[in-house]
């Protein structure tokens, strides 16, 4: 581009100069910031790695000491347990005759308790069987009593129904007979009344006849 005159004024006039100057500046600043942040990030990561390694080393050391202490304590506990068992074995050997005698007494006591429990169970079973038998017998008697009461009640109900039927029939018969007598009486009274009326009519006719005859005789006199 040598020998070519660059028109800065024209470039400045149309605003393009800002793009040519601003973009490289932004790139440079961004690069510096990125390097600064990345460097700090690397330092921070390295610091965290060292801290983590130190903590892990301390943790491993702590676990090793705890493991050694536990192992030591376990061995000590095993030693004391072994000594205790040995002591118990020796004491057990000394107490063995007494133990056998005590076991024999204990066995005798258990046998006696078992015998008593067996007798108690047998007695309870007999008592239960007796109670069950009495209960069944009582239930049978109660059933027979209820059946007898039911039968007697049915008989009484049947007798009552028959008596009521007979009484109803008697009352109905008496009512019918009374109605029949009343009917006969009314009919008899009606017949009697009709007979009297007929007799009175005959007497009236006879009287009128006699009167006419009398009148005729009187009219046809001498």
| 47-63 per-position pLDDT tens digit | 888 888 888 888 889 89
pLDDT at 91 over 90: no
Question: Mean pLDDT, the chain, as a whole number?
Answer: 83
Structure tokens at 26: 């932004």
**Cβ partners under 8 Å of residue 8, min gap 6:** 17
| 31-48 per-position pLDDT tens digit | 888 777 777 777 777 888
DSSP state, residue 162: H
pTM above 0.75, yes or no: no
| Helix, strand, coil share (%) of the chain residues, nearest 5 | 95, 0, 5
Place of tokens 């429990």: 117
Q: Are 119 and 127 spatial neighbours (Cβ–Cβ below 8 Å)?
A: no
Q: What is the pLDDT of residue 3?
A: 45
| 157-207 per-position pLDDT tens digit | 999 999 999 999 999 999 999 999 999 889 999 999 998 999 998 888 888
**Cβ partners under 8 Å of residue 11, min gap 6:** 17, 20
pLDDT confidence of 154, banded at 50, 70, 90? very high
DSSP state, residue 58: H
């Amino acid at each position: 581009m040598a020998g070519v005159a660059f028109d800065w004024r024209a470039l400045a006039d149309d605003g393009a100069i800002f793009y040519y100057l601003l973009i490289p500046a932004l790139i440079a600043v961004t690069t510096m910031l990125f390097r600064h942040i990345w460097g700090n990030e690397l330092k921070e990561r390295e610091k965290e790695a060292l801290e983590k390694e130190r903590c892990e080393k301390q943790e491993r050391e702590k676990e090793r000491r705890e493991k050694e202490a536990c192992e030591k304590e376990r061995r000590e506990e095993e030693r004391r347990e072994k000594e205790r068992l040995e002591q118990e074995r020796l004491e057990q050997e000394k107490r063995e005759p007494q133990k056998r005698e005590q076991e024999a007494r204990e066995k005798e006591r258990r046998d006696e308790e078992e015998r008593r429990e067996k007798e108690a169970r047998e007695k309870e079973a007999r008592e239960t069987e007796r109670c069950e038998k009495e209960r069944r017998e009582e239930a049978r008697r109660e059933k027979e009593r209820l059946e007898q009461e039911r039968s007697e009640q049915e008989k009484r109900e049947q007798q009552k129904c028959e008596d009521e039927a007979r009484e109803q029939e008697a009352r109905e018969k008496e009512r019918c007979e009374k109605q029949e007598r009343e009917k006969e009486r009314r009919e008899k009274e009606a017949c009697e009344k009709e007979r009297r009326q007929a007799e009175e009519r005959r007497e009236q006719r006879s009287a009128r006849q006699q009167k006419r005859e009398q009148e005729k005789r009187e009219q046809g006199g001498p």
